[in-house]
Structure formats: C-alpha cells, structure tokens
Structure 1
Amino acid sequence: MTRRRPQPGSPPPKACWPSTSSACPIYRSGGVSIVRLTSAGTTQGFGVTTQPMDVQVAPVEATEITQVLHATRVAMVYDTSTYTAGIAGRLRDLLTTAGHPPVAFQPITEGQGDFSGVISAVAASHPDLVYIAAYGADAGQIARLASQSNVGGGCLVDLAAQGPDFVGAATVPVAQRCLNSGVPPAQQFAGASQYVTNYTSAFHATPGTWGTFTYDSMKLLAQAVTEARGWSEAAVQSRLDHIVNYQGITGAITIEPKTGNRANSPVVILDVNASGNYLINRVWAQTAGFPLPTVTSP
C-alpha cells in the first residue's frame, strides 16, 4: 500500500478498544472513521468490527447449554463491566425464553478478590451448571473456588475470560473441566498458518487470543484507505461498511452495514487441554461444520 498523508480536515481512522469504548461517540462526532475492537452491544453502529459481538455470542452459549449440555438449573456469575454484564443479561433472557430461567444471577466487580459470598449463593441454588462471565484471573478464581467447594454441576465460561490468566488462576485441572465460548486460537484458524509462523519467528512467543482479529482489522482498514485514495472519513467508512467476503486469516469477513458487525462471526466452543492451551471442541466443530486445520494444534 502506498502511504498517503491524511487529507486536510480528515482525521485518520481510530480503533475503539474495550477500555476506551466511551470514546467511540467522540470519534464519530469528530468525523473519524472507526475500526472497533469491541464486543459489547453498546458499541454497535460505531464503525466496524471483525470480532464477535455479545448478540452473536449469547445464542451460541444458549444452544450449548440447552441443546448439548441439557442444563436446566444454571447459576450465573457475571462481572458488572459493560461487556460481561451485557452478555449475561442476553443469556439470561434466552434461557428464560427457553423455559429455564437462571437459578442464581450473582454480580461481581472486577478485581473483587473475595468471592466466598458469591460461591455460597451459587451453591445454595443447587445448579447443574455454573456459568461465568468475567475476565481472566477473576473467572479462573471463581471456577477454582466452585470446584473446591463442590458446588456441583458443569462449568461454562464466557469468552471474556479466554487466555492464560484464566487457566493460571483456575489451575489446569479445573480449566479442563470447563467448556468455554470463545474464538479459535490462531493455530486453529485454517487461514492463519503463515501469520502464526511469522509471529512466532518475530516475537518468539505464541500469538495471543485477539491478535488474528487485530491483524484482519488493520488489513481491512489499509484496503479501505487505499481504495478511497486517502483518509476522507465518508469515503473510508463507506468502504468499511460495505465489505463483502473479504478473505481474512480469521475467515471470510462480511460487514453488516447497519450495525458494523461482522456477519457469521467465528464464535466457537473450546476445551482446555493438559498443557493449558485452548482447542476447539471437535464435537462442536463437526456439528457446526467449522473448518479445522489439518495440522495438530499445541
């Protein structure tokens, strides 16, 4: 791509991160094109995203709970942060509509530390499944405490927790007993093999959970700017809004113009293996028709 200077009066595009999602309206009112790296429904309509949104994740979780696990007494624990509270609310509504409202709906705050009261309330509800929508170490600690307290039932963890912090706090044996909603690890995206090779060679580390989506986001932005021949907000945003079947390393990407969301976003069900790595649940993949790479994942 030939690099061009921003046109006068046309600020370059910005990325709205989960921690700065409140800035999205400011960027839009300032005439800035937006590529958002968010999953909260409150950011719909503010630019485009390659990531799954909570409105796309919740139905996958509800299907797993009701049609695969056949759980009818779900105890829900959720962080009150924007995304996790949003996904918990959407899932609660779906379960209620299915005829099985949650038997517990316990809020926590990020970094709370002491979850003993929450665990006691969950245990008292006699669940057949504990659902956790929280981040990293908090989610891991809750899963571990629930296991140590013999709360009972299975464990399903929302994609907010996906990563080594969850596994480390839960411990590998506990993490292995949980199913997870999430996105495929880079190694399990059929089109990301060269990205993984290049990343590992450059940084001597395994790519993180969201690196593939960030990579595709930047490629989409570069393509839109190139086609628009500059940084004009209207021209760039129009091209971003009308992306159809772009072949990214996270799969084919089509943007829904009204919301900026990615159609058919790759939300999957994951296991954790004995090495603490996330792997797509093969039974789920076969049922959903999700393509898996032929190479063995770590």
Structure 2
Amino acid sequence: MAPRSVVALALAAPALMVGSFTVASPAGGAPAGSVDPIVIAVEAPLTGSQSSNGKDMLRGVKLAVAQQNARGGVLGRPVQIVRIDDRADADYALASVDKAVAARAIAIIGPYNSSVGVINLSAYLEAGIVPLRMTSATATEGFGATTQPMVSQTSPVEIPYLASIAKNRVVMLVDPSSYTTTVANQTGKGLEKRGIDVVQIMLDPTASSYDDAVAEALALDPDVVYSSTYYPEGTKIAQALAAANTTAKCFMNLANVDNAFVSEVGVGIAQSCTYSGVPAAGQFPGAETYVAQYKAAFGKQPDVWGSFTYDSALLLFDAMERAGTTRFAQLTAAVLATKGLKGATGTISINPESGNRRQAPMFILTVNDAGDFVIKQ
C-alpha cells in the first residue's frame, strides 16, 4: 500500500533516559540534546496477559538503542524510544498509530499480535512510519519487514513433525485471532494432504477454563491435541490435558513459547508437550554476547522475542546508515534491501517483495529440566 503522507521526523528533546540507560552524546562530542533525536516506537503488549512477551520485546530494543547511542547514535543523532502499549487488543490498534504519529516516530518495532497488525500496519505506512513488524500472519506480509518467522515458514516445520506422531487424527483447539487461525488452517491442510483427519474446535479467548473444550477434543480419540493459541490459553489447555491422563500427545504452536508458560504450568506439564517455535536467545549459535549483555543490563535471562526486536533495531540502524537519511521512502527501500546482517538470531536477509526474512529460524522444541525451551534433538 502506498503511503499518502510522511510524518515529520525531528523531535527536539533534552537529555533523556531510555529505561535504565542514559542517551549518549552524539558523534562529534556535542552534548546530548543538542541535536534532534531519531524517535522509534515500540508497540507491544506491555500490560495484560501477554505482558511478559511485550516487556522482553521492549528490553531487546532498549539494549540495542543503548549500545547504538554509546557509539554516537545514528547519523550523528541519538535514538529515543517511545513505548506504546496495545495490550494485545485490536481495539487499541489505531490508537497506537496515533501515539506514534504524535511522538513523530520514524519507525515502529511491532506490533506483536497479528490481530492488531492486520488493522494498523497499513495505517503506519499511510502515516509515513516504517514498520519492523513482529506479526506472523500471512495477511501482514508486505507491510514493512520482519526478522521473525511467518506462518508460511512455521507450517512447513509443523506438518512433517505432526505427521510423524499422528497416525489418524489431530484435533486443533484454535484461538479465533488472525495468526492462530491462519497457522491452524495451513498446518491442517498440510496434514490432510498426508491422509490425516483434522478437526478444529474454536475457543472463546475470554473463557476461564478450557476443560470442556479439551474433553470435547479427547472424545474424538485424537493422536494429537494441537493448541493454536497464545500462551495464556495454552497453559489452561496443557493443564487440562495433564489432568485427563490421556495418551493423546500435546502440541503447542509458536505463540505458546514463552517463559511464563513454563512458570505457570510447571516444568513437568511443560515437558509433556512439544512446540513449534524459536528457542530463547541462548539456544542460537553466536548469541552468547547478546545473552551476556542482556543479563548485565536487566539482571535476568532473555526470553524469546526480545532477541528479535533487538535484531529489528539493528536492522533499522543499519538501514538508516546505508540510506544516509531517515526519510520514509529511502529508509523503507534500505530496510527491504537488507542482506547478510549479523544479529543475535543469526544472519538476516529480507525478501523485498514480502518484507519477510529469508530462511527465518523455526524449530520443533521441547522443555528441558531447567525449564528452558530447547531445540528437540
């Protein structure tokens, strides 16, 4: 979608704090605040049931910005973060864009939820704000760029694994959001092509319990119960499956891969399921430096999605430097032309047609005795 307007990019500000980090002086020794900062927004669920993901996302960007400002910023200007809390709620999608416009942000890292992104990613582009999206649904392709896996890169990993453990039937418990329905449909079609019966049961995301939905699924005598949900729902499903003492295998999709999932259900129940997704940063080859820096900055281990927002920020800084400007058209072109960028999650190259990451990391995961998501051997 072609943008109709471009937001003014400069916002004068005094010396500022980014979380626990002070913005460093820009290149050339000028004092912080003497030049206009480059404003980037981070849209994430910073409150609500998915806040552990959102806070990790924000910390990833804060770390990248602190490091970049310590090197003199970008194009001789410090970088400033604006936090936008969408609460994982599509009702806040357009209000989030308004906040980014009011802050004069030149780029947005986020949103995380595809149900939010299908509403507001086009609005960001219309406002002249470059999106580095964290959405996975196919409907969000073509709106900016992403460093994380898309549904088109998730289902091809899920299908052969599920076909190896399901002889006859997979029952899917599906949250009605954009991402969860899209991945369930694509994976389901792939399994049906392999001769496996697939049944979908739609969930009410506001339900306090999914015991009845799990009982309905188990009554169909499945080999696998597949949870296409976000982790707050997935915890209830995993607990209900464990309580049912069933022989049906538990499989959780990408959006359940969250340290809070393990904390809520306990290591034993978490180990009873397998997962599609990406592991915490410590599992990525070459991410040791990022993990150490994250722990030093925040006093805790990084979760999954902060490593991708960290890389999104690196990509954005690299694109600005290559473009020599923060202007929308030139910056967008530079983002889409990214090739061979080294990040915490591996080497990043962007497909300029879709904005998707080429060869995005995606694995089948298990949970180890320490409660960490690890790549299944």
Shift of 1:256: 0.9
Structure 2 counterpart of 1:64, from 161, 174, 179: 161
Shift of 1:152: 2.3
Q: Is 1:25 aligned to 2:25, yes or no? A: no
Aligned residue runs from structure 1 range 186-225, under 5 A: 186-225=281-320
Q: Is 1:35 aligned to 2:105, yes or no? A: no
Shift of 1:70: 4.4
Q: Is 1:75 aligned to 2:171, yes or no? A: yes
SS in 2 for 1:257: coil
SS in 1 for 2:197: coil
Q: Is 1:47 aligned to 2:144, yes or no? A: yes
> Does structure 1 conserve the Cα–Cα contact (< 8 Å) formed by 2:158 and 2:187?
yes
Shift of 1:46: 0.1
Q: Which has the higher contact order (CA 8 A, sep 6+)?
A: 1
SS in 2 for 1:18: coil
Q: Is 1:236 aligned to 2:331, yes or no? A: yes
SS in 1 for 2:213: helix
Shift of 1:151: 3.2
**1:217-256 deviation digits (Å, cap 9, x = unpaired):** 0000001111111111111111111112222121111111
Partner Cα separation in structure 2 for residue 170 and residue 126 of structure 1: 24
In the other structure, the counterpart of 1:14 is 108
Partner Cα separation in structure 2 for residue 70 and residue 119 of structure 1: 17
Q: Is 1:94 aligned to 2:190, yes or no? A: yes
Shift of 1:137: 2.7
**1:30-69 deviation digits (Å, cap 9, x = unpaired):** 2322211111211100000000011110111111111x32
The AA in structure 2 aligned to 1:2 is L
> Does structure 1 conserve the Cα–Cα contact (< 8 Å) formed by 2:135 and 2:150?
yes
> Does structure 2 conserve the Cα–Cα contact (< 8 Å) formed by 1:246 and 1:253?
yes
The AA in structure 2 aligned to 1:136 is Y
Shift of 1:154: 1.2
In the other structure, the counterpart of 2:200 is 105
> Does structure 2 conserve the Cα–Cα contact (< 8 Å) formed by 1:35 and 1:48?
yes
In the other structure, the counterpart of 1:165 is 260
**1:152-201 deviation digits (Å, cap 9, x = unpaired):** 22111101011122223333212111111110211111111011111111
How has the CA–CA distance of structure 1 residues 131 and 25 changed in structure 2, closer, same or farther, with 3 Å as cutoff? Answer: same
The AA in structure 1 aligned to 2:165 is L
Q: Is 1:2 aligned to 2:70, yes or no? A: no
RMSD: 1.8
Which structure 2 residue ranges, 5 or more long, are not aligned? 1-73, 80-103
> Does structure 1 conserve the Cα–Cα contact (< 8 Å) formed by 2:170 and 2:225?
yes
Partner Cα separation in structure 2 for residue 261 and residue 109 of structure 1: 30
SS in 2 for 1:239: helix
Shift of 1:72: 2.7
SS in 2 for 1:34: strand
SS in 2 for 1:156: strand
In the other structure, the counterpart of 2:209 is 114
Shift of 1:11: 6.0
SS in 2 for 1:274: coil
Q: TM-score, normalised by structure 2?
A: 0.70
Partner Cα separation in structure 2 for residue 101 and residue 129 of structure 1: 11
The AA in structure 2 aligned to 1:119 is V
In the other structure, the counterpart of 1:267 is 362
Greater Cα radius of gyration, structure 1 or 2: 2
Partner Cα separation in structure 1 for residue 319 and residue 173 of structure 2: 40
In the other structure, the counterpart of 1:125 is 220
Q: TM-score, normalised by structure 1?
A: 0.88
Partner Cα separation in structure 2 for residue 144 and residue 169 of structure 1: 10
Shift of 1:5: 9.0
Partner Cα separation in structure 2 for residue 111 and residue 235 of structure 1: 43
Partner Cα separation in structure 2 for residue 71 and residue 210 of structure 1: 33
Share of identical aligned residues, percent? 33
Structure 2 counterpart of 1:180, from 260, 268, 275: 275
